[in-house]
Amino acid sequence: MPSAFTHLDLYCERLGPGFWAEPLNAMSNGGFVIAAWLAWRLAGSLPGRTPRTTHLLIGLLATIGVGSFLFHTLAVTWAMWADVIPIFLYQLLFLVLYLGQVARVKPLPCLGWVALFFAVSWCFAALPTQWLNGSLSYGSAFVFVAGMAAYHWRSGRREPLVLALATLLFALSLTCRSLDMQVCNWLNTGTHPLWHLLNAGVLYLCTRALLLNEGRR
């Protein structure tokens, strides 16, 4: 079993154990911080007071950038968890907030949707990790964002196509993540930095959909 300080070499750009061995992978995480700043600015520009839980979601968006930066610079096991955990917490909190504050789903059905999310996540996690370079671990998130995009459009929410755009960007970002090692022979930086930048756009659009449609005091 690997220790917390086991070195990991998982991406095309990394050629050694150095701190700056993945410069583009590391710096592209600034996209998440920018996305969080834009979401925070949007929250402040809207009438009424943003719920604290939504501020927590925006904070998680920034934390994703920090955790991923640590992983792509230190490249050890504990930093991988610093990368993965904020991503999962953002997914879970966004699902709960969208269901409760936008779709107005009652607590018990909301709990059922969360249980379904865990079940679908488990199903994707059970697939071989080498498929699509591990991108299938985000399969449940893609399925749920696509489903919420359909609901968001059909229910006539503000900016009804914002989650549809997020779904499209998500598909592109997953493609970039999946191709990272495949293109390594002729593109030594890989495509993982594009995953970061596009995914930052996905999370901003998801947060925007929540901010524009949630109940505000």
**If you search the block for the tokens 């959909």, which residue do you land on?**
209
Fill in the amino acid letter for 65.
G
Q: How far apart are CA 191 and CA 130, in angstroms?
A: 17
Query: Could you say which residues of the chain have pLDDT below 50?
Result: none
Q: How far apart are CA 41 and CA 82, in angstroms?
A: 26
What pLDDT shows up at residue 216?
65
Domain ranges of the chain: 23-213
What pLDDT shows up at residue 16?
84
What pLDDT shows up at residue 5?
84
Residue 166 Cα distances to 120, 130, 147, angstroms: 20, 26, 12
- The tokens for 49 are 């007071």
What pLDDT shows up at residue 15?
83
